């Protein structure tokens, strides 16, 4: 059975023919002057090359097409047998360093749950029915719908990779076409400017005041703010950049979530706070917010090979933020709510493509679905638009119709005007009306009497 592309070739016999001068004819003339048959060649799963000979090209092509059809339909050589547990170990070994630690953890965990349910079944024997059993099992043990959706996405990706590694025939991913569970969206927490000022006022130190102001005005993710260095801040242009860190001599190797370099403008107030923080901090640490003692410990672990991806560069940030919010008497919110609120503020002023770029999202759908919130002020504006439309004397928006715009500008006479009121350059016949400019025709009119 074939596992790769099937080819058709000439198979020459006998000695190379010679011309009248006794020289071997060039290879380009062999098809006409040298006896040959036709061979179909393909590679098997073991890496060996196989072939079959035919007298005519027509027979060879017919056989090659049938052989290639078997490969396309998944009926070629059966893929090698590997169980879910062995594939899980192999996948973790191969993908370490290629994807984020959290992504790999989610994939291997989902594979482990699937292997436990199916008792280490062979990868190529996992069916759609097994996938649906997995979802039912996870639902029954109390796993939330959103978590199940993440696991479906992880397993779909894993089985796609299994196809690439020849453990599954093409088109046999059991998680393709599995519908995700419906999840009701929670109300997005918007943190107003007044709330943020109160929270910043109760911050225990200058470092925290700078960090909170930066998060709220630049929309940075917490991990991005933690990995900011002074080289990323340009006070001259008033910009801060989110950039990967690749020099292990000074910083922990790190990549932004979107894996792209992006620049974000700094507000004047935040820039002044940063200047003050830079002046107050003279410990030589390249990071903006990592304490010197913590920095030395992290770099020592990095040099000793004890640091691994996924560890937090700063400790207890979320817990400390929760305490600050409580002391400020503000409604409970998270650090990520500051990012959402910043994006909501931007959305009222900047175009959608700029917002997507500043947020570091690969698609605008993510920005709209998970980040932008609708505030009472937005609803009030919508209410005012509705009231204005129904309570005004003319509810027709002059921008909606060409004729309404002309009426507003006085280009057309009023509807009651007769032909005598029309401009001399036009007549009612030119306009097709009998009673003036706005006479209406019956679209279902019968024959004239």
pLDDT digits (tens, 9 = 90+) for 112-143: 999 999 988 999 899 999 999 999 999 999 99
Question: Looking at the domain covering 84-164, what would its CATH class be?
Answer: mainly alpha
Question: What is the rounded distance in angstroms from the CA atom of residue 165 to the CA atom of residue 45?
Answer: 12
CA nearest to 75, candidates 2, 124, 139, 19: 2
Q: What are residue 242's DSSP bridge partners?
A: 262
pLDDT for 382 equals: 67
45 pLDDT tier (thresholds 50, 70, 90): low
* pLDDT at residue 51 tops 90: no
The tens digit of pLDDT for each residue in 242-259 reads 999 989 999 999 888 877
By percentage, how much of the chain surpasses pLDDT 70? Answer: 78
436 has a pLDDT exceeding 60: no
Compute, in degrees rounded to 10, the torsion defined by CA atoms 172, 176, 177, 180. Answer: 150
d(CA 364, CA 353): 8
Give the Cβ contact number of residue 405 at 10 Å.
14
How far apart are alpha carbons 215 and 209 in whole angstroms? Answer: 10
Are 40 and 5 in contact by the 8 Å Cβ rule? The answer is no
Of 61-70, 285-294, 368-377, which range is least confident?
Answer: 368-377
Taking residues 405-423, report their average pLDDT.
50
* Mean pLDDT lowest among 254-258, 365-369, 430-434: 430-434
pLDDT over 90 percentage in the chain: 43
Asked if the model's pLDDT at residue 352 lies above 60, the reply is yes
Question: Cα-flanking dihedrals φ and ψ of residue 354, to 5°?
Answer: -70, -40
Mean pLDDT of the chain: 81
On the question of pLDDT at 202 being above 50, the answer is yes
In the structure encoding, which two tokens stand for residue 210, read together? Answer: 């700078």
pLDDT of residue 78: 61
Output the pLDDT for position 437: 42
State yes or no: pLDDT of 350 exceeds 50. yes
**54-80 mean pLDDT:** 75
Contacts of 45 (CB under 8 A, 6+ apart): 1, 3, 77, 78, 79, 80, 166
Ranges 218-232, 293-307, 350-364: which has the least confidence? 350-364
What is the average pLDDT across 23-28?
A: 87
pLDDT on residue 409: 58
CB 431 within 8 A of CB 421: no
Q: What is the pTM of this model?
A: 0.61
pLDDT score at 181: 85
The better pLDDT of the pair 387, 179 is held by: 179
- As a CATH number, domain 193-370 is 1.10.443.10
164-192 pLDDT, tens digit per residue, is 888 887 788 999 988 888 877 777 889 99
Q: 315 or 370: whose pLDDT is higher?
A: 315
Q: Could you read off the pLDDT of 309-343 as tens digits, one per residue?
A: 778 899 899 999 999 999 999 999 999 999 999 99
| Per-residue confidence band for 81, with pLDDT thresholds at 50, 70 and 90 | confident
Rounded to 5 degrees, what are φ and ψ at 174?
-70, -15
pLDDT band at 387 (very low <50, low <70, confident <90, very high): low
Which letter does DSSP use for residue 350 in this model?
Answer: S
Q: Which residue do the tokens 């950049």 mark?
A: 241
């Amino acid at each position: 059975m074939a596992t790769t592309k099937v080819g058709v070739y000439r198979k020459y016999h006998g000695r190379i023919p010679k011309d009248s001068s006794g020289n071997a004819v060039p290879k380009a003339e062999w098809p006409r002057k040298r006896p040959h048959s036709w061979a179909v060649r393909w590679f098997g799963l073991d890496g060996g090359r196989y072939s079959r000979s035919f007298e005519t090209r027509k027979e060879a092509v017919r056989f090659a097409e049938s052989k290639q059809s078997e490969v396309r339909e998944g009926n070629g050589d059966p893929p090698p047998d590997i169980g879910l547990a062995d594939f899980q170990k192999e996948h973790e070994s191969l993908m370490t360093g290629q994807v984020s630690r959290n992504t790999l953890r989610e994939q291997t965990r989902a594979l482990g749950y699937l292997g436990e349910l199916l008792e280490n079944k062979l990868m190529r024997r996992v069916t759609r029915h097994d996938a649906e059993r997995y979802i039912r099992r996870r639902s029954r043990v109390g796993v939330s719908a959103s978590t199940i959706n993440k696991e479906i996405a992880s397993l779909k990706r894993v089985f796609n990779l299994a196809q690439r590694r020849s453990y599954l025939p093409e088109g046999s991913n059991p998680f393709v076409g599995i519908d995700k569970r419906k999840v009701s969206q929670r109300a997005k927490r918007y943190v107003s400017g007044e709330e943020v000022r109160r929270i910043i006022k109760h911050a225990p130190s200058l470092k925290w005041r700078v960090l909170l102001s930066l998060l709220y005005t630049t929309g940075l993710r917490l991990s991005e703010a933690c990995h900011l260095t002074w080289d990323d801040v340009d006070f001259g242009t008033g910009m801060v950049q989110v950039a990967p860190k690749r020099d292990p001599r000074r910083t922990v190797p790190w990549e932004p979530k979107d894996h792209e370099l992006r620049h974000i403008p700094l507000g004047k107030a935040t820039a002044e706070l940063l200047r003050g923080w830079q002046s107050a901090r003279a410990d030589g640490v390249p990071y903006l917010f990592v304490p010197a003692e913590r920095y030395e410990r992290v770099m020592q672990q990095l040099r000793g090979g004890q640091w691994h991806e996924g560890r937090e560069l700063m400790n207890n940030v979320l817990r400390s933020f929760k305490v600050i919010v409580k002391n400020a008497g503000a409604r409970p919110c998270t650090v990520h709510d500051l990012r959402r609120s910043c994006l909501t503020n931007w959305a009222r002023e900047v175009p959608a493509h700029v917002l997507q770029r500043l947020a570091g999202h690969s698609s605008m759908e993510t920005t709209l679905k998970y980040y932008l919130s609708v505030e009472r002020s937005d609803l009030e504006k919508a209410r005012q638009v509705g009231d204005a439309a129904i309570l005004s004397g003319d509810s027709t928006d002059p921008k909606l119709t060409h004729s309404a715009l002309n009426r507003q500008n006085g280009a057309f006479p009023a509807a009651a005007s007769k032909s005598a009121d029309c401009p001399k350059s036009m007549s009612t016949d030119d306009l097709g009306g009998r009673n003036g400019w706005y006479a209406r025709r019956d679209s279902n009119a019968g024959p004239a009497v």
